Amino acid sequence: GESRARGVFLAANGPVFSAGHDFADMAGQDLVAMRKMLKVSTKLMNAIQEIPQPVLARVQGLATAAGCQLVATCDLAVASTEAGFATSGVKAGWFCTTPMVAVSRNIGRKRALEMLLTGDVIDAQTAADWGLVNRVVPPERLLQESQRLLEAATRGSFISKGIGKQAYYAQIDLPQEKAYAYALEVMAATSQIPDAQEGMRAFLEKRKPNFEQ
């Protein structure tokens, strides 16, 4: 959150974006060790949504289990047509219960349960249709389109967008009345920051705003 970076890419090389946890690290571990390992993963997922910078997953290949969770957790995601997505724990006699949290918040109950219960891979276009990624592009355009989206998401006032991102996650699971009450207070408070005042003045004066950050 204190970094000068305005946005973050998560990316990989090769045929796999992320396969999630390595079973070699998990097999034979006791409950305490497993709980500790999963807490580390959960801390990472929460951090992605807590930092003010937009985080974009640039998915070039297969994303399974916690790798699929990682994509679902990111604020934005662009996928290559060669990418695929699965919550495949069920095929190993387990169940993707922690990935389920992020995935189900992206794609809805029926589609999430289809992925969770079958463990089957969905292609990139299906992932886009279901809301798991923002857009799908040919492999040769993945870098360019990812940069274009992140640049669009990070232009303007850094502080206002950072507050807005964190407010989004704070309100999304609240009942509507409480969400409005929370959002009202945040919007009223952010109207007082210099960038918001500058933006309103610039609009009225028909000029480009000069934001602090």
pLDDT 10s digits, 138-180: 999 999 999 999 999 999 999 999 999 999 999 999 999 999 9
pLDDT at 55: 98
Q: By CB neighbour count within 10 A (0-12 exposed, 13-18 middle, 19+ buried), where does 41 fall? A: middle
- Measured CA to CA, the distance from residue 103 to residue 70 in angstroms comes to 9
Structural domains in the chain? 8-154 (3.90.226.10), 158-204 (1.10.12)
Q: In the block, which residue shows the tokens 């999630």?
A: 20
> What H or E segment, with its residue span, contains residue 9?
strand 8-11
Please state the pTM of the whole predicted model: 0.93
At what angle are helices 97-107 and 66-73 packed, to 10 degrees? Answer: 40
- Measured CA to CA, the distance from residue 211 to residue 213 in angstroms comes to 6
pLDDT at 142: 98
- Measured CA to CA, the distance from residue 138 to residue 158 in angstroms comes to 30
pLDDT at 213: 65
- Contact between 99 and 112 under an 8 Å Cβ cutoff? The reply is no
Q: How far apart are the first and last CA of the chain?
A: 14
Low-confidence ranges of the chain (pLDDT < 70): 1-2, 213
pLDDT at 2: 67
